[in-house]
A and B are shown apart, each in its own frame.
Chain A
Amino acid sequence: MIFLRRQLPLLITMITGLVFAGQYYVPHPASEQVLTSATKWMQIIGGFALVLGVTSLFHVHAAKIRRKEAGWGYSVVLYAGMLGTIAVGFWANGKESVEGVSTAFGWVYNFMMVPLQGTMFAILAFFIASAAYRSFRARSREAAVLLIAAVIVMMGRVPLGEYLIPMSGDLSQWILNVLNASVRRAILIGVSLGTVALSLKIIFGVERSYLGGGKE
């Protein structure tokens, strides 16, 4: 059992990890075929992951409703919304419109999901303004630098800012292109090196947390 639970997954990880790291550098048709098959499998597994995610969400909220935990009413709404949308989706064969005529599924999408998502995103502007007023203070030198940079970029990104302070546009471009890009690049390089190191640790079995716990 230990072989099936520990050694076999480690072996599969090591072989597939090494094969696909090497595959990138081998443009032979056979090697490309391996990649085609593997990515097709990844897509199929991705489809199942969606089912797994939805099932898990149902379980979590079913438990909340059963135990009548705080906010269980929202879970009921989630259940009703999800089951309703799935039923309508099957009924409409997954199509939002047929020959230009909106289906029930299209109605749910256009008149419920689109406005709800739009509203969620739109109210951010109000909260950002309120939060900026309350907390964007030059408490230290670093905070002052951040504040000045933010004001310049905000001015430079809108026509009114460029109209009032003509050089704000060029200054904001310089901040984004030079200061921002160089710092972001440094972070990216660091993250990439970390990813390479972690990948090697997983491939060679040093990092095993993905196998989960349980008895040996």
Chain B
Amino acid sequence: MSFAERMLKIDRRIIFVVIGLCTLLPLLYPVGLPIKISSEVRGVYDYIEQMPERSVFLLSIDFDPASKPELYPQAVAILRHAFRKNLRVVTMTLWVSGTGMADQLVTQVAQEMGKERGKDYTFLGWSPGGTAVIINLGQDLYNTFPSDYAGKTTKGQPVLDGVQSLRDVSYAVSLAAGNPGVEAWYVFGKDKYKFELGGGCTGVIAPGLYPLLRSGQINGLIGGLRGAAEYEILIGQKGRAVAGMDAQSATHLAIIVLVALCNIFYFSMRRQARRQGERS
């Protein structure tokens, strides 16, 4: 067996150790490389920035704990921004398995920013039906969520003053790890009920949402941990996402080096095989 062949059949545990070290070391010894702000992330930030105080901002936390590393920092950064701007924050989820996590997230950030449940924010929770929930919210919010996640009646809550349906929402952002998510909010929500929509998603699904972004169907997109890090920098409050960017840099570079090595060994094996063929 040639060296190239041996290298291509390397024990996968060695690769696991390399990736593990590339993740762990930058977290322990951060470098803090500068992060450029993209126009996609700025789109969401600028829109929230120009919203007048007490405008209604809807955040749909459409993910479960599996996507927490990427989307949780996005949600924290957006909530901090919205609370700082004194917006009325209405939160909910379309993912049943993310309900508990979403409640903790919203409560934690609200407490940190000194906001009061029912007055400054509310967490509506989850309701069955997937995309039907969006249509129903567009028709009548109180019919869809007669009570919030804490069990309090939604009607009469100061945070929902003057809000009857999605038509009364100034801006909505869906932080999604799949379907139902950003696309569903556009198709069943924005298109009919005419509110401005932004999106946030995991890095894996971000490329699939670019057509919506380019056509103006969503006004901004926060993609993956990088997007969250950009948002943290924009609000001037670095958190988990910025801390994780060095680790992501190192793992990306490690994968690129591994792919390059694999191709070098592959082409060297091909050349060897061709030479052997010519000789025989």
Residues of A within 8 A of B (CB): 24, 32, 35-36, 39-40, 42-47, 49-50, 96-97, 106, 109-110, 113-114, 117-118, 120-122, 125-126, 128-130, 132-134, 136-138, 147, 150-151, 154-155, 157-163, 169, 173, 176-177, 180-181, 184-185, 188
Which chain B positions have C-beta within 8 A of A180? Answer: 207, 210
At the interface, yes or no: B130 with Cβ under 8 Å from chain A? yes
Which chain A positions have C-beta within 8 A of B215? Answer: 185
Known contacts being A36-B136, A154-B252, is A125 close to B23, with CB within 8 Å? yes
A41 CB to closest chain B CB, in angstroms? 9
Which chain B positions have C-beta within 8 A of A118? Answer: 65-66, 68-69
Known contacts being A110-B100, A173-B38, is A136 close to B259, with CB within 8 Å? yes
Residue contact A177 to B210, C-beta cutoff 8 Å: yes
Chain A: interface secondary structure? helix
Q: Which of B203, B210, B246, B262 has the most CB of A within 10 A?
A: B210
Known contacts being A96-B103, A154-B256, is A176 close to B210, with CB within 8 Å? yes
A18 CB to closest chain B CB, in angstroms? 18
Task: List the A residue with the shortest CB-CB distance to B245.
Answer: A159
Known contacts being A46-B129, A155-B256, is A39 close to B139, with CB within 8 Å? yes
- Our pick among A32, A121, A160 for the contact of B33 (Cβ within 8 Å) is A160
Residue contact A106 to B128, C-beta cutoff 8 Å: no
Residues of B within 8 A of A (CB): 8, 10, 12, 15-16, 18-20, 23, 33-36, 38, 64-69, 97, 100-101, 103-104, 127-130, 132-133, 135-136, 139-140, 143-144, 192, 203, 206-208, 210-211, 213-215, 224, 226, 245-246, 248-256, 258-259, 261-263, 266-267
Residue contact A126 to B139, C-beta cutoff 8 Å: no
Could you list 28 examples of A-B contacts with CB < 8 Å?
A43-B136, A44-B128, A47-B128, A49-B128, A96-B103, A109-B101, A117-B66, A120-B66, A125-B19, A128-B255, A129-B254, A132-B255, A133-B258, A133-B262, A136-B262, A136-B263, A137-B263, A151-B256, A154-B252, A158-B226, A158-B249, A158-B252, A159-B33, A161-B249, A169-B36, A173-B38, A176-B206, A177-B210
Residue contact B262 to A137, C-beta cutoff 8 Å: yes
Task: List the B residue with the shortest CB-CB distance to A126.
Answer: B16
Complex: A36 Cα to B132 Cα, angstroms: 10
Residue contact A151 to B259, C-beta cutoff 8 Å: yes
Q: Which of A126, A150, A185 has the most CB of B within 10 A?
A: A126
Number of A-B contacts (CB under 8 A): 164
Complex: A169 Cα to B252 Cα, angstroms: 14
Residue contact B129 to A39, C-beta cutoff 8 Å: yes
- Our pick among B20, B103, B128, B266 for the contact of A43 (Cβ within 8 Å) is B128
Residue contact A133 to B139, C-beta cutoff 8 Å: no
Which chain A positions have C-beta within 8 A of B143? Answer: 36, 40
Task: List the B residue with the shortest CB-CB distance to A186.
Answer: B211
Known contacts being A24-B192, A158-B248, A188-B211, is A130 close to B16, with CB within 8 Å? yes
Task: List the B residue with the shortest CB-CB distance to A164.
Answer: B253
Residue contact A46 to B128, C-beta cutoff 8 Å: yes
